[in-house]
Amino acid sequence: MRYGPNLLEEILRRTDIVQLVGRKVKLTRRGQAFWGCCPFHKEKSASFKVENGRRTFKCFGCGKGGDAFRWLMETEGLNFPEAVEKLAGEAGVELPKWTPEDEAREEKKKSLYDVIEAAAAFFEAQLLLAVGTPARDYLKSRGLGEPDAKRFRLGFAPASGNALMAHLTAKNVTQDDMIAAGLVRPADEERGVRDFFYNRLIFPITDARGRVVAFGGRGLTADAKPKYINSGETEFFSKGRQLYNFANARPAGLKAQTIIVAEGYMDVIALVRAGFEAAVAPLGTALTEDQLHLVWRVAPEPVMAFDGDEAGLKAAHRAARLALPNLKPGHSLRFAFLPSGEDPDSLIRAQGAPAMQKVLDAAAPLAEVLWRGETVDRDFSTPERRAGLEKALSEIVSLIADGKIADYYRRDFENRVFEAFKRRTRGPARAPGRQGRFAPQADPVSAAVKNSLIARSGGARKVKETELCRLILEEPELASRYAELLAELHFSDPLLDRLRQELLNVAASGFRLENKGLENHLLRQGMADVVERLRAPGARSEVVQESAFGEDADARFLRAAAQLRDMSELDPERRRAMERFKAEGTEESWQEAQRLLARRSRE
């Protein structure tokens, strides 16, 4: 049902967003706003702001924010209508009444849910009887016992072809309702009404609320065609809009901020049993846009876990292409490829959960998978072939609807092409294994490139340090309010670090200094040079300026501090890479240094 803007505004007006957020986050009042540690990423200092005046929440560390509807969608995985209904109920706002026809249709759906639940219970019971022996034997061969079958509500459809129909008929369920629920097939020219599933292992499929809405069935004989089938499309089930195990995976995924998309039912069961509870799978088809948006409601970067065979690679490339028009800031995909010949089930049974975790930790970003798809095992020894690659990459970028993201991808691909062809390629450029990288060359990087890279390595962090110090000069009370956070930060610039220490001394003294008072104090401490440097027009970063969203000084300071903290955590790794690059100047060390600088540019 569509809700008008006036109704939505009334719901938001009656909702105390501070109280709503406060159920999950400890908040402290500071002026007109409330602050706390962000629930969406790990942090020690509060950078998460909630305001009843604006009726919004915002984290200046990870960027997440929005209104009360968005809060429920982010923290509870609800879709927009579900969030509206929940807040309306709590706020005492009456939603539009349904017509008698709407009510009748809803009552009919409720009765069909009951019919499907009765079918699920029937299948479960059959699995434990003598007739279910073939299905139990199959589960045993996959390492699953009775407790596992109960946990995942697995079942068995007898081979007779009318066992379920007879069972439901005895419960006074009409054939029309069985057909509407997708449990039996209607009569056709060759056969009468019969069960949809027979002689198959049954996997219940639930909706986002955990209600069984359909089933998947695996054939148990060698000649079963196809091996897997799903219930037919019904009013409340569409295989392209639902995911296996989504209701169970959603809370775990929201908590961990990650979700794994595997290829099939048994993969999901294996992952969950191994401790990867946030695991789902499409229902026998390639991932769809609706399913993509479903997992994005749980985690910003779902991990697509594909088998390490040719079919798995093709599925990964399809998913990568599917994502392009739907990308939005902060939302993408990562791809985990299993060893050749393995799937999550076989890998976990053979080597355990740590082996699977290692595969997930090595998940490649979307841009890398797209690059591999165009370059792995390809020959780019001629100018024409290289031009063809650039055209293919340009076409990929053209599929991205978000202009900002498209621009970043364009630059990323340009850098990759430059790295691959910056010298004349010697023979076919082939990628080892599935890494999609061109064969490394032993020649040293040119002096010009080397000097350029070394110059780039130290700039971003100093810019962020300058931004923080200038903010404090403009708003001296920031040093008092965030003294603990300021003390935790590490400045690489000696002059700015001396200023940081002096600011902490001032904050600890208890004196309340205004802008001019603080500046005069710093001048008396012999810090005229650094004050002049910070007051110069060139020191003003565009991040420091008042944003289009009206960010205050606290918000800007916390965002810059979070970014600097992230840079500091990665700097030891960058420093080692740069030292190696300075010493060796080789292709390999150049690429590693470039990778780390690229990570900095995204911060």
Q: Report pLDDT digits (tens) over 260-277.
A: 999 999 999 999 999 999
Question: Looking at 362, 397, 424, which one is the last position of a domain?
Answer: 362
What is the model's pLDDT at position 80? 86
- Based on the domain organization, do 152 and 183 belong to the same domain? yes
- Based on the domain organization, do 516 and 496 belong to the same domain? yes
- Based on the domain organization, do 35 and 110 belong to the same domain? no
Question: Which stretch, 128-142, 520-534, 538-552, has highest mean pLDDT?
Answer: 128-142
For residues 353 and 361, give the distance between their C-alpha atoms in angstroms, rounded to a whole number. Answer: 12
- Based on the domain organization, do 400 and 298 belong to the same domain? no
Answer yes or no: is pLDDT of 579 > 70: no
Does 235 reside within a domain? no
Residues 6+ apart with CB under 8 A from 52: 16, 17, 18
For residues 264 and 343, give the distance between their C-alpha atoms in angstroms, rounded to a whole number. Answer: 10
Q: For 455-509, what is the HEC assignment?
A: HHCCHHHHHHHHHHHHHHHHCCHHHHHCHHHHHHCCCCCHHHHHHHHHHHHHHHH
Does 23 reside within a domain? yes
Least reliable range by pLDDT among 167-176, 188-197, 443-452, 474-483: 443-452
For 298-307, what is the mean pLDDT? Answer: 92
- Based on the domain organization, do 312 and 217 belong to the same domain? no
- Based on the domain organization, do 210 and 132 belong to the same domain? yes
Q: What is the CATH number of the domain that holds 543?
A: 1.10.860
Does 371 reside within a domain? no
- Based on the domain organization, do 536 and 590 belong to the same domain? yes
Q: What is the CATH number of the domain that holds 39?
A: 3.90.580.10
- 385: its two tokens: 């072939």
Question: Looking at 439, 467, 489, which one is the last position of a domain?
Answer: 439
* pLDDT one-digit tens code per residue, 106-153: 666 678 899 999 999 999 999 999 999 999 999 999 999 999 999 999
For residues 414 and 390, give the distance between their C-alpha atoms in angstroms, rounded to a whole number. Answer: 8
Produce one character per residue of 338-370: b if its CB has 16 or more CB atoms within 10 Å, e if not. Answer: beeebbbbbbbeeeeeebbeebbeebbebbbbb
- Based on the domain organization, do 354 and 392 belong to the same domain? no
47: amino acid identity, one letter: S
Helices 553-584 & 587-601 angle (0-180, nearest 10): 180
Residues 6+ apart with CB under 8 A from 167: 118, 122
Answer yes or no: is pLDDT of 391 > 80: yes
- The SS3 of residue 79 is coil
At residue 593's C-alpha, the angle toward residues 405 and 438, to 5°, is 75
Least reliable range by pLDDT among 21-35, 93-107, 130-144, 191-205: 93-107
Element (H, E) at 359: helix 353-361
Phi first, then psi: give them for residue 511, nearest 5 degrees: -75, 140
- Based on the domain organization, do 215 and 274 belong to the same domain? no
Predicted model pTM: 0.61
For residues 59 and 35, give the distance between their C-alpha atoms in angstroms, rounded to a whole number. Answer: 9
Q: Return mean pLDDT, the chain.
A: 82
Question: Looking at 362, 389, 424, which one is the last position of a domain?
Answer: 362
The partner residues of 216 in beta bridges, in order of sequence, read: 203, 230
For residues 477 and 482, give the distance between their C-alpha atoms in angstroms, rounded to a whole number. Answer: 9
Does 141 reside within a domain? yes
For residues 106 and 100, give the distance between their C-alpha atoms in angstroms, rounded to a whole number. Answer: 10
Q: What is the CATH number of the domain that holds 221?
A: 3.90.980.10
Which segments within 60-123 are labelled E, that is strand? 65-66
- Based on the domain organization, do 463 and 597 belong to the same domain? yes
Domain extent for 35: 5-91
The partner residues of 217 in beta bridges, in order of sequence, read: 202, 229
Does 564 reside within a domain? yes
Domain count, the chain: 5
Q: What is the CATH number of the domain that holds 335?
A: 3.40.1360.10
- Based on the domain organization, do 143 and 210 belong to the same domain? yes
- The SS3 of residue 216 is strand
Per the listing, tokens 């810090």 go with 527
- Based on the domain organization, do 465 and 593 belong to the same domain? yes
Beta-carbon neighbour count of residue 123 at 10 Å? 28
Least reliable range by pLDDT among 55-59, 66-70, 212-216, 564-568: 564-568
Does 240 reside within a domain? no
Q: Is the link from the previous residue into 226 a cis peptide, with omega within 30 of 0?
A: yes
Does 50 reside within a domain? yes
* pLDDT one-digit tens code per residue, 319-328: 999 999 999 8
74: amino acid identity, one letter: E
Does 68 reside within a domain? yes
Nearest residue to 203 (alpha-carbon basis) of 218, 224, 193, 190: 218
